[in-house]
Amino acid sequence: MADAPLDRICIRDLRLRCILGVAPEERREKQDISINIVIEADLQRACRTDSIDDTVDYKAIKKRVIAAVEASAHFLIERLAQRIAEICLEEPKVKRVAVSVDKPGALRFARSAAVEIVRERPREG
């Protein structure tokens, strides 16, 4: 039998500031970034029980992401996106996560430069 499709929890346009980039001027002061996270999990039980214990606590994940990002000083957007995905996958109910990190003003004539990644919990067995 095929796996049931996963449900999604979205955290949209989380706007934070951190050190991010390779150029010396990018390493001096925190810059604005925008993060979008799509968490995939089986939420059927939570839909029936209406209990926080049966779902993914996205507020707790958001707090951990904020703490990690604001304390970070990565050179690459890719590494920051990976760290955010790792935080999300620490929650056992999360099966897959898509993370996008936008860096406004990174490229002349473009609104932003962004990296999007998808990471999945390894299958057991």
Would you say residue 1 lies in a domain? no
DSSP per-residue letters across 45-91: HHHHH--GGGS--HHHHHHHHHHHHHT-EES-HHHHHHHHHHHHHTS
The tens digit of pLDDT for each residue in 51-70 reads 999 999 999 999 999 999 99
For the cut 60, the answer to whether the pLDDT of residue 37 exceeds it is yes
27's enclosing H/E stretch is helix 24-28
Give the residue numbers marked as catalytic: 103
**Range scoring the smallest mean pLDDT among 36-45, 77-86, 102-111:** 102-111
Does residue 125 form part of some domain? no
Domain housing 83:
7-120
Q: What is the pTM of this model?
A: 0.93
Our count of domains for the chain comes to 1
Looking at residue 76, what is its pLDDT?
97
Mean pLDDT of the chain: 94
The answer, yes or no, to whether residue 98 has pLDDT greater than 60, is yes
The verdict on residue 115 lying in a domain is yes
Query: In the predicted model, is pLDDT for residue 13 greater than 60?
Result: yes
pLDDT value at 2 more than 60 = no
Domain assignment of residue 59, yes or no: yes
Per-residue confidence (pLDDT) for residue 125, from 0 to 100: 58
